[in-house]
Amino acid sequence: MLRLGPALACAINSTGSCLNNTATSTFTTTTSTADADGSGNSINSADLTSASAGRVGQTVTVDGANVTLPKFGSGAYDNMLASGQTITVPDSGVVNTGDSVVFLAFATGGAAKGAIGTITYAKDNCLDPDGNPADQSYQLDSVPDWISGPPRRPR
């Protein structure tokens, strides 16, 4: 399933300004609505809180990168729906200290295989042999489906 969200452009030292979709909802006396898959289905915030050991709004480490989990379950935006956005990384700050990009993602309608994108570097960074900013392509080999999860590894 290909689902397009509102295109956005944002500068990122925190993902908060880049969130454009609500995927988690609450199923309590105060129910909040969300749409994780484009069909009105959502992730139960109680299940996600349990799976994340209650680290809502806190930082976790994913492949060596610090990622701050959104404060989900309030009905507010809690994820970025991919739709060809331009996300600008500032010259300095927390997110400009590594040498790789980490995606914390889920797919809907089955695993997403071979998702591609381009990193465009600012002037004077990562120049090609002619002195022009070099773009770098990337591919996400497989993003697991949000319901079935990643394939089980043999024990």
pLDDT tens across the length of the chain (155 residues): 334 444 555 656 666 778 889 998 887 777 788 998 888 888 888 888 887 766 777 888 888 877 778 888 788 898 888 777 777 776 666 565 666 778 888 888 888 899 888 887 766 666 777 877 677 888 988 889 888 877 776 66
The residues pairing with 120 across neighbouring beta strands, listed in sequence order, are: 135
Query: What pLDDT is attached to residue 129?
Result: 75
Note the pTM of the prediction, 2 decimals: 0.71
Structure tokens at 134: 């070099």
Query: What pLDDT is attached to residue 1?
Result: 39
